[in-house]
Structure 1
């Protein structure tokens, strides 16, 4: 591959993306300038919109709107071959891709999956096993049977989680058996920093997109709203993550671009 040409394409793509996002950001801010509601008015209105769609908002809605830009990342290569034992993992590699690895632990560890502190306990356990020096923090627990499910951890950068690089730890019958890790390295920040759209704006964007995703009248409950970085994976060595509001319901996850308001559902 001609890396110099690929890098030129990447730089050009980034410039075009910055221009498009800058225009969308300016348009949204211009529309908002006509009339500014108070935070409580906006939140009450959004709650009414969701109620009309049989959705409930059962979490605190963040008020912060920091200035953020794009996050330039690259894949970290996985150099361990499938079927062989990773240096630190204490297990056997079941699967590996360009920047993803799945490992079965040689010695499963007992864990009470139902325990409230399960996430913290597993985090301490995995710190000595995973192939990364990233600052992982517990994100959420997803059960799929009594004593079974997975615990998700996310790396953080400058105070915000990177949703595109999860570490998932799998528990079967109260035994930690496997983990899957996506490895990304942060190169730096890109583009001009802009004040992100509010979480209330993100919720409104989601409400307006519910019909598009076929989720009207599904009796969903929104349980978490969090600001971080995300993008779909690209088949390239380097790319950019956008600041997003992750909105988590009891059944699925949505990402709302915090600069443009575009909504995407996690698949």
Structure 2
């Protein structure tokens, strides 16, 4: 055996291992520093509640507070209760490449490029996507569902609705910050020991008439348990969906 060569290989392996471990340590320290910085953006009362209820926040807290306004939309009756079969099934792995997915399904599903995949909603053999308001923010309570089997997307059900932006009467206004929204649910709603894993800005529909709903800006706060809390971005009102409603 060439001991000199073996020694060189072992030294190289140890150096590589040290580099990997050092990088992982750096990433952990950076994430911890970011987490501490995020928590510092909460109010003092929210930080006390966070500690007293032993709540963890592993999600980054968004810092932007954009100007948004409620947008009316009209829902339409579903064209059928059964999923629409695809003439050409596509590889289910494309769900993780939204641009390629849109290309593959553009001729089979109308406006597929205007939807966004929601990895936090789990349903057996179903991918859930939400329509994007103004090609930007998801409408959380409206779902396009892609059904897959044997690693192929084989059928779908799509929502039917029309945005009526010309009927919007309220101007854009600055919404609540994510830290304010999170602080509200920490103090008043989250159970002891909850783990917050995601905070996302979007819209949620509120019924205001026959087939007319108002898409209002919300912060969606997702827990490790699967439960979602929606904080209205203008009024601060909180609604929730339990984990059981997000899976089959």
| TM value normalised by structure 1 | 0.62
Q: Deviations over 1:137-171 (max 9, x none)?
A: 333254556xx442424323163222232212222
Deviation, structure 1 residue 256: 0.4
Aligned residue in 2 for 1:57: 57
From the superposition, tell whether residues 164 and 59 of structure 1 become closer, same or farther in structure 2 (CA, over 3 Å).
same
Q: Please, which of 187, 190, 214 is the counterpart of residue 164 of structure 2?
A: 187
Aligned residue in 1 for 2:25: none
Aligned residue in 2 for 1:240: 214
Aligned residue in 1 for 2:233: 258
* Higher helix residue share: 2
Root-mean-square deviation (CA, aligned residues, Å) is: 3.2
Indicate yes or no: 2:84 matched with 1:111: no
Q: Which runs of 5+ in 1 are unaligned?
A: 1-37, 83-92, 95-101
Deviation, structure 1 residue 258: 0.6
Q: Which runs of 5+ in 2 are unaligned?
A: 1-36
Indicate yes or no: 2:183 matched with 1:209: no
Indicate yes or no: 2:134 matched with 1:135: no
Aligned residue in 1 for 2:139: 162
From the superposition, tell whether residues 155 and 53 of structure 1 become closer, same or farther in structure 2 (CA, over 3 Å).
same
Aligned residue in 2 for 1:175: 152
Query: Contact 2:58 / 2:195 at 8 angstroms: preserved in 1?
Result: yes
User: Which of the pair has more CA radius of gyration?
Assistant: 2
Give the whole-Å Cα distance in 2 for the aligned partners of 1:227 and 1:111: 27
Deviation, structure 1 residue 76: 4.1
Give SS of 2:199's match. Answer: strand
Query: Contact 1:47 / 1:57 at 8 angstroms: preserved in 2?
Result: no
Give the whole-Å Cα distance in 2 for the aligned partners of 1:132 and 1:152: 12
Query: Map of 1:14-33 to 2, 5 A cutoff?
Result: none
Give the whole-Å Cα distance in 2 for the aligned partners of 1:136 and 1:65: 23
Give the whole-Å Cα distance in 2 for the aligned partners of 1:47 and 1:126: 46
From the superposition, tell whether residues 257 and 155 of structure 1 become closer, same or farther in structure 2 (CA, over 3 Å).
same
Aligned length: 202
Aligned residue in 2 for 1:97: none
Q: Deviations over 1:186-206 (max 9, x none)?
A: 111331332111111110111
Give the whole-Å Cα distance in 2 for the aligned partners of 1:159 and 1:196: 16
Query: Contact 1:109 / 1:177 at 8 angstroms: preserved in 2?
Result: yes
Q: Deviations over 1:40-81 (max 9, x none)?
A: 633374455334334321122111112222111112455x4x
